[in-house]
Amino acid sequence: MSAVVIMPEVRGKLTANAPLAPLVWFKSGGSAEWLFEPADEGDLVDFLTQLEAERSLMALGLGSNMIVRDGGVPGVVVRLGKSFARIEQLDETTIRCGGGASGILVSSTARDHGIAGLEFLRGIPGTVGGFVRMNGGAYGREVRDILVSARIALRSGEIVDWPLEKLGYTYRHSELPKGAIVVEATFRGSPGDPEAIGAEMDAIARAREESQPLRSRTGGSTFKNPPGHKAWALIDAAGCRGLTRGDAQVSEKHCNFLLNLGSATSADIEALGEDVRRRVAAKSGITLEWEIQRVGTEA
């Protein structure tokens, strides 16, 4: 007989064997051993403090930049809900945002308060927790250009406030420790005209719609841009536009996007990405690095 697993008491929602495919953009992959949706920061802290130290933990935002492997994710997946999506204006140019707030919500709130410089977040399909962790960027700007500090729940349950410089940002990377969860972040822009800010956000939305397969089951930008190159151009030059494996396809509209045409498994999608990496390396000598997170175990 298998041992009974005792999990901490929570005020939020704790679900065993929770399917993750409905929560990620690719709509593929296995289940979380446990999915925890905390009621608030206190609930999250209590849970982490009591959780067995050896049990793995990861955060899940909108699931836009992630492949969940078909065997599922062992341990605990934490998903921050509406109570973590609050946004508060601190001064003329500064807002504090919960880790569950989307890029669209953050940029729209900044616009409404006449804060410029955060428009690019309109082009990032994720939450504060995700794009702070990976120094998300779009249209020439990155999170490190606007971040003041981040409030972080460490795996131990300790809450710490890290200033920008402590996150050690590089391209699509931070020094946040494994299992840490961004519960809040403070961003600073500059004074701006709400109409002009809104027009810039609308232009970003149009550009994304025209160039990216937003209405498909996709994971966003698949590979990081190598120094001096655009990943999509290298992929195109290697003859990968439209390449398929099972029901997974390299987008014909933007070939740094992979698509699930309907019934692709996560294994199909990841294997197609590896096919692309091999072809690009053979053609150009450049090895593409994954930007999409690949989590969990193979079936």
Alpha helix segments (H runs only) across 155-294: 194-211, 231-237, 266-284
Domains of the chain: 13-82 (3.30.43.10), 85-211 (3.30.465.10), 217-295 (3.90.78.10)
Q: How far apart are CA 109 and CA 292, in angstroms?
A: 27
**Per residue in 229-243, pLDDT tens?**
999 999 999 999 999
- Indicate the average pLDDT of the chain: 95
What is the tens place of the pLDDT at every residue in 58-90? 999 999 999 999 999 999 999 999 999 999 999
Which are the catalytic amino acids?
Answer: 172, 221, 291
2: confidence class by pLDDT, cuts 50, 70, 90: low
pLDDT at position 125: 87
Distance CA 244, CA 249 (A): 4
Note the pLDDT of residue 3: 58
**What is the reported pLDDT for 271?**
98
Contact 36, 10 (CB under 8 A): yes
Mean pLDDT of 193-202: 97
Whether 194 has a pLDDT exceeding 90, the answer reads: yes
